[in-house]
Every structure is written in C-alpha cells, then in structure tokens.
Structure 1
C-alpha cells in the first residue's frame, strides 16, 4: 500500500498504478452510465412524441366523425339540380291543350293547291295574333306533294320567334297566322307563290308546302 502521508505539490496524495487504473475504469463506467441514461432519455422522448401523435390522431378522427362532410347523395342532388334545363320544352301557355307538348304527325296533301288555307286543329283560348306582334311558335314543315319533312323546330328543341307581317318569313306565314289565337295548333297549306316558288335557288323546298304550327305566345 502506498504511504498516504506522501503528498504531491498540490497537496493531493500520490496514487499507485493500480489505483490509477481503477480510477480510470471507474471514470469509464461513469461515462458509460451517463451515455446510457442519455440514450434512455432520448428513446423515452421519442416514444412520448409518438404517443402524443397517436392520441392527437384519435381525437381528430373522433371530432371528424361527429361533424361529417356533405354526403355523396347530397352532392349528387346538387349536381342533378344544376343539370336541369332552365326552361321546359315546349313552353306552353297557361291553360293550353296538353297535345301541344307532343310533336304532330304531318302528312302529304291531296290534289293541286292553288290558295292559302289555314285549318285549326286545336283551338287556343288566348288572344288573336295581330300584325306587328312578335310571336313564338313550334312547327313542322313538309312538302305538300309527298309529306317529306324538311324542317322542324321540334328537332332543335327550341321554338321559333319572329315579328309577323314584317316580311321576315314566307308570305304564307305572314298571312296565314294573322288572327290565330295563342294556344292554337293550325295547319297551313301554302301554294308555291306564297312559299319559296317552284324553282328556289337557295336550297329551300320547291312547290306547295304544308306546315303544322303551334302558336305559343304573341306580344
């Protein structure tokens, strides 16, 4: 054993090599213990963070389930409403015969047609059309001799509007629809001279024509 009475210049007792080795081992052990505690603390901190994240997620899910978003059926309903047309076709006047909601069947005429003829198929209850008014109509047009359809507002799902008596349509229309009551369906048999003539050059139908016209409004 070293003599503990022997002192260093700093007043500390001198230690043997064995004591120094023991002290070094003790210091290493303490350092290792410190590192282990630090690692344990780091692992514990990470675990606490993960636990907090899990708890937060559970709370968020629970809150979301108590306040659900719009259901698919509600979204589909909104889409269905926005997809509806702005107006029904055809736009029938109040009290009109329901037959005006269906396209009429138009057949060929018989014999030679020499004068304009207006035949009432359905009598409306509205005011009579006057020259200078703008009228709104549905129509089907066929050639008088064979009943071949050449034009129809029904195929476009859109009525036709025009000022009557202003020369913007064929004469058979300007003349044949005056006096017809709103809500009526009439048949116009129009000779060639009041239609496009016998030899039109613009691609229009030739000869006598037959139209079935529904008068929807006049103003």
Structure 2
C-alpha cells in the first residue's frame, strides 16, 4: 500500500471535496513517517562517515608508531642529544661496564689472571693485625688516600672460607674514595700504595672490619678479602 493518502474524488461541481479530520490525520501521519525515515537515513550516513574517520585515525597512528625509531641516530650508537657525553671508559675508576661489555674491564698490560675470579680460602692461625699479601704485583700507579679506586673483590670469613660478598657475583667492579671512611678501615689502610693491576689478599682483624658481633647483618670476626686493583684516579 502506498504511504501517500489519495485525495478524495471531486464533487459534482468539479471542485475537490474538503478532507475529513481522519484524512488530515492520515496525511500528517504519513508526512511524519516520511520525515522520520529521512532522518534515519541521515543518521546512518553520519554514523558511516564517523566510522571511516575512526578507522583512518587508527591507520595513521599505526603508521606513525611503525616509523618511530627508524633512522634514529641512537640506533647507530651515536648520542642524539649533543649534550650527552660519550660512554665512559669501562676501565676508568668508578665506571660501571655496560651489560654487553666484557667483564672484568682489565687495565692495560694487566696480568690475564685478573680476568678470573680468585679463590679466597680460609685462613690459619690468629690474625692480630692487618696483613696485606701481594698475590700479583701490578705495574700501574699506586693508589693514594683521597683517590677514587676501582676494584674487584671476594670476601670470605677467615675461619671457614665462607663467601659473604663478591663484586664478581654482580659482574661489576666496586668504586670508592680511598681513605675517607667509605669502606671498612682494613680496606682504607690496606689498599694505600696498592698498584693498578695488583691482586692483594687482605687479612683483616675484627677491629678493622665489622667487629666481632655486628648487629647490622654484616659478617663478624676476622675477614679475608682478595682484591684486584683495576684503576685509580
């Protein structure tokens, strides 16, 4: 059935007869339905255009993300910020080697034995004073109080040789300022004069280490350290 309401037949005079109230309501209803259908079509078109716009934004975002990092100077190892300095020399005192660097960073001309973790065995006898023992005599400059020194080390309890700390387990040297109290007195005193490239055994009585019964979880009693001197500055 057509959604248009047909007009009434002409009367005997040839003029179109007036519409009844029911016919007027029918015409109004049909016009309203037609307008509603047109509105729905416009809304559908608007929704379709909005969907296309969202898809376009997503595509552009993916393209932008895909291009991120391409041709980045940092990918070639060159700092993109001119204010950022080049990576530190891994052999320099206090420098922490990058994850892909060879460990340990040995000083030039060092004995290759410094490339292997030393064995720190338990001691014998009583240690009444600080006792440094040179295991490998280096040829570099001697460390002085106040200098920054970089070392590898293994620490064990003297009585049983049980390891309690080691820079080797972290795969990074330890750096500190010598002679200013940043480390135990046995280190501050025992490493003064140690030459770069040396491996030194330090037998340290409790009084120059952490004491007999430290409360902070540190090892008590006499301690033995084997220390490799990697650099001073």
With the length of structure 1 as denominator, give the TM-score of the two structures: 0.61
Q: Is structure 2 residue 217 aligned with structure 1 residue 203?
A: yes
1:108 matched residue in structure 2? 122
In structure 2, what is the Cα distance between the partners aligned to 1:173 and 1:120? 14
Within a 5 Å distance, the mapping from 1:24-63 to structure 2 comes to none
1:215 counterpart SS class: strand
Match of 1:124 among 102, 125, 138: 138
Matches of 1:128 and 1:164, distance apart in 2: 12
**1-structure distance, mates of 2:110, 2:136:** 10
Q: Match for 2:152 among 133, 138, 143?
A: 138
Q: How many aligned residue pairs are there?
A: 138
1:22 counterpart residue number? none
Q: Match of 1:214?
A: 228
Q: How far off is 1:87 after superposition?
A: 2.5
SS at match of 1:103: coil
1:153: Cα distance to partner?
A: 0.2
Q: Flag structure 2 segments of 5+ consecutive residues without an equivalent.
A: 1-74, 78-97
How far did 1:86 drift?
A: 4.5
Cα distance change on mapping 1:198 and 1:85 into 2, 3 Å: closer
The structure in which a higher percent of residues are helix is: 1
Superimposed CA distance per residue, residues 18-41 of structure 1 (whole angstroms, 9 cap, x where no aligned partner):
xxxxxxxxxxxxxxxxxxxxxxxx
Answering whether residue 177 of structure 2 is matched by residue 151 of structure 1, we say no
CA shift for structure 1 position 173: 0.1
Unaligned regions of 5+ residues in structure 1, if any? 1-78
The whole-number CA distance in structure 2 between the counterparts of 1:159 and 1:183 is 13
> Could you tell me how far apart the structure 2 residues matched to 1:185 and 1:148 are?
20
Equivalent of residue 208 in structure 2, options 176, 189, 194: 194
In structure 2, what is the Cα distance between the partners aligned to 1:85 and 1:191?
A: 36
Q: Secondary structure at the match of 1:174?
A: helix
Deviation at 1:112, TM superposition (A): 1.1
Return the offset for 1:88.
1.6
Cα distance, 1:189 vs structure 2: 0.2
Post-superposition shift, 1:111? 1.2
Instruction: Name the SS of the counterpart of 2:196 in structure 1.
Output: coil
Distance 2:118 2:221 in 1: 22
Structural RMSD (CA): 1.6
Q: State the TM-score, normalized to the length of structure 2.
A: 0.58
Q: Distance in 2 between matches of 1:202 and 1:98?
A: 37
Instruction: Give the whole-Å Cα distance in 1 for the aligned partners of 2:194 and 2:150.
Output: 12
Which residue does 1:183 correspond to in 2? 197
